[in-house]
Amino acid sequence: MRGDFLNVLKEHGYAWGPVVGDGPPVDPGTIAHGTTVLAMKYRDGVLVAGDRRATAGNLVMHDRTDKVLDLDRHSVLAIAGVPATAFEMARVLDHSFKYYRRSQLQELSLDGKLRALSTLLRNNVPMAVQGIGAVAPIFAGYDLATGSGKIFFYDILGAEFEGVEYAASGSGSPTIRGVMYYLHRWGPQVIAQLDATDATVLVLRLLESAAEFDSATGGIKKGDDLYPVVKLVTSEGIAPVPAEHLQRLYAEHVENRRV
């Protein structure tokens, strides 16, 4: 018997969902999951990106999911896991940050934002261990106090880890982490010194590589005008990279390019 709550119920004969015709019960245990997200430091701050696919088991539920959510002017949450849980966490954080700013007449510190996210994840542990609400997000922000971009990633229990140069989460993250480690260790240029254009090209290549080896990671579809969500977090705030710019960079630097 596996410890997943849904599987425990199944193994005890509980039938999920209604029966359609004479077929087997529909299984809502295949809850939608979002994959894959990453964050990396570049010359002016932090670049955060995510593919657009949400899956449920072996089904593609949606191919236009936004997994990079603004929390305030200088911080974003990139979600990997159950979107329903992650979206609610983002709404709670957005409200909390606004309340603090309006009541205290100042921004909540970066440490305060990190603790708030850890608390939400810790409170979500019962859902996570039941297998129906796990989220493993990446928090990225620009710390005005130090004048630098920051990246933090979490496990489903709320443990916080700082990604010194980069972080990735979701089912496609092993491929991305492997390539990022290689480039950071032996690449021709330190990743954190890339400008916004070169960093965006790298992210497009990373997500296409992840999609090649992970079916849950959505690739780039030119015909459908479907590109990842890419956002730049700098001292000036959050700047989404327009789809038209991604389209041009993909055509010039990713598609059919071998070197």
pLDDT band per the 50, 70, 90 thresholds, residue 48: very high
Note the pLDDT of residue 35.
78
Note the pLDDT of residue 7.
67
Residue 255 or residue 23, greater confidence: 255
Mean pLDDT is lowest, of 59-63, 111-115, 137-141, 179-183, for 59-63
Catalytic residue from among 30, 35, 65, 234: 35
Does 98 score more than 70 pLDDT? yes
Cα 159 to Cα 5, 74, 120, 140, 201, distances in angstroms? 22, 22, 11, 15, 31
Domain coordinates in residue numbering, the chain: 31-253
Note the pLDDT of residue 169.
95
Cα 118 to Cα 86, 131, 154, distances in angstroms? 13, 19, 8
Can you tell me the distance from the alpha carbon of 196 to that of 44, in angstroms, rounded to the nearest whole number? 8
- Let me know how long the chain is: 259
Residue-wise pLDDT for 218-249, tens only, equals 989 988 999 999 999 999 999 999 999 999 99
State the chain's mean pLDDT as an integer: 88
35 labelled catalytic: yes
What's the average model confidence in pLDDT over 208-225? 92
Q: Which fold has domain 31-253?
A: Glutamine Phosphoribosylpyrophosphate, subunit 1, domain 1 (3.60.20)
pTM value? 0.86
Note the pLDDT of residue 25.
46
